[in-house]
Amino acid sequence: MTQTAAPRTAVRGHSLRPPLGVVVPAVVVAVLSLLPLGFVVATTIQIGWDASIALLMRPRVGELLGNTLLLMAITVPLCVVIGVGAAWLVERTSLAGSPLWGVALAMPLAIPAFVTSYAWVSVIPSLSGISAGVLIATLSYFPFVYIPVKAALARLDPALEHVAASLGHGPVRVFFGTVLPQLRLALLGGSLLVALHLLSEYGAFAMIRFDTFTTVIMDQYRSTFNGPAGSMLAGVLMVLCLLILVVEAGARGRARYARIGSGVASAPTRARLGWRQLPAQTVLAAVAVLSLGVPLAVIAGWLFRGGAKAWDASEIGGVVAQTLGLGILGAIVTVLAAFPLAWLAVRYPGAISRILERTNYTTSAMPGIVLALSFVTISLALVPALYQTTAMLVIAYALLFLPRALVPLQAGIAQAPRCLEESAQALGRTPSGSFLSVTLRLVAPAAAAGGAMVFLAVAGELTATLLLSPIGVSTLATRFWSLSSEIDYAGAAPYALLLVLICAPMTYLLFRQSMKAADL
């Protein structure tokens, strides 16, 4: 593994000017991403400057800002500690059963956050507040850090660690001085996903009665229909997202990591746990029980209470088919939309590529209800034929979940050495031919991982689906939410179980493809 600065000058076979066939799709996606922002800005202009200031200066806004910032300040570091610690134990220690632990610690991603919240509320009905929010979010989102960091650890060249150890550096100094800097891209990408989910999550926090900007925006739109107040809150949410993106971009820097060839020069040295084996197993078991065991046990309990009458085969079959169809279609469209942006960000880093990339992150941080309402308003005014169609719903999914595809795609492209493309071109391949035969093959595992992440997001999406889906279309998530909102937990249990069963294979695919990307 070598670290090289992003090039500032042209190299053989490579122009500093990106291909038009990449720039145009990236610009189209960015323009579509700006539509919700334009909706919020137009609403602000419509209500006037004085009214906007009055809405923003309310004590309630300060309370929500404090809740959101505190939630992020606690949850993101916890996810980093659990994700990095678990990945290191599995990849770099003599942990017994490490292959099984490797998969088990990724599987909480198969359980949507609102299902985890439903399970914990069933166990502790009084669960609420910031502590509940941190608990649910950490148990739901730590795999976003664990999976990419584990894949990065599997790919790192252990020769660098051997050199550091030969210089007299102890295990702790080797980890923090040699290993951790090489995990920066994976660590920051995972942390960014956690932060964005904290900004936009609705169902999990609504169920435990913990107010964030997103839950209150939903209340404004659904209860009082106070659009201006909701738009002002959405504006604050977008500012928070922009600040996160600026911090993440500064921490990411311009360094890229790439290794030529498959395999490594030598196997990594696994640290002997010795007497620490039992504490390590205990900690990982606790994480697995809290994130997997509790939700699955609660779902099983409600299924037992509900009995056979909770299963309506005629309705459930249609809901499953619609969920699978929307998930697969949304994943394909989102990965295709993310590829030009990821390519520009890695191969042609600069102000323009950063702006195009960050535009989509800002949109993804919006609550689904804000994006959905902007699409409804725009479609009714300009393209009425798109209103309540599958096409509009899939476009909304792509804009909401683009970062889930961008993060693994960027990592995959960054680890596909450009010199291999140049070598193929030197042997007579055209630029497009070298891309298809060399780069695309190397990036395919990352693309599959991104598609799996998008599928998981689509399967568990609530707000945009409720507002934009065609008449008669329901997903497992929306049907579960409808029943659980009526406190029919037994009736909601079959949909929760099926949602987990559908998401579990995609989570495993995401995990395996991440490992394949590490083995390239």
Average pLDDT on 290-319 reads 87
Split at pLDDT 50, 70, 90, the class of 327 is very high
The answer to whether 367 and 42 have CB atoms below 8 angstroms apart is no
Whether 271 maps to a domain, the answer reads no
Whether 9 maps to a domain, the answer reads no
Place of tokens 């088990």: 104
268, amino acid identity: P
Higher pLDDT: 352 or 222? It is 352
Name, in order, each residue with C-beta under 8 angstroms of 257's C-beta and a sequence gap of 6 or more: 1, 2, 3, 182, 185, 414, 415
Split at pLDDT 50, 70, 90, the class of 169 is low
How far apart CA 285 and CA 6 sit, in angstroms, is 41
Which contiguous run of DSSP H or E holds residue 437? none
Whether 380 maps to a domain, the answer reads yes
Whether 3 maps to a domain, the answer reads no
What is the structure's pLDDT at 253?
61
Task: Give the helix, strand, coil percentages of the chain, each rounded to 5.
Answer: 80, 0, 20
Alpha-carbon dihedral 436, 442, 447, 448, rounded to 10 degrees: 110
Percent of all residues in the chain with a pLDDT value above 70, rounded to a whole number: 80
Q: How many separate domains does the chain show?
A: 1
Whether 98 maps to a domain, the answer reads yes
Whether 193 maps to a domain, the answer reads yes
Tokens of 451: 């598609």
Measured between alpha carbons, how far is residue 275 from residues 180, 269, 272 in Å? 25, 18, 9
Average pLDDT on 420-435 reads 63
Tokens of 29: 């996606």
Average pLDDT on 492-519 reads 81
What is the structure's pLDDT at 79?
96
In tens, the pLDDT along 115-166 reads 999 999 999 999 989 999 999 999 999 999 998 888 888 877 666 666 666 5
The answer to whether 164 and 178 have CB atoms below 8 angstroms apart is yes
How far apart CA 283 and CA 355 sit, in angstroms, is 41
Q: What is the CATH number of the domain that holds 372?
A: 1.10.3720.10
What is the structure's pLDDT at 387?
83
Work out whether the CA dihedral 365, 397, 151, 101 comes out positive or negative. positive
In the predicted structure, residue 394 carries a pLDDT above the cut 80: yes
How far apart CA 94 and CA 96 sit, in angstroms, is 6
H runs (alpha helix) in 427-488? 431-434, 440-459, 463-468, 476-485
Whether 451 maps to a domain, the answer reads yes
Measured between alpha carbons, how far is residue 271 from residues 171, 175, 341 in Å? 8, 11, 39
What DSSP string describes 87-102?
HHHHHHB--TTHHHHH
Range of the domain at 418: 17-258+279-519
pTM to 2 decimal places: 0.79
How far apart CA 216 and CA 166 sit, in angstroms, is 56
Whether 22 maps to a domain, the answer reads yes
In tens, the pLDDT along 33-86 reads 888 878 777 877 777 777 777 777 777 788 888 999 999 999 999 999 999 999
Closest Cα partner for 175 from 260, 269, 245? 269
What is the structure's pLDDT at 293?
94
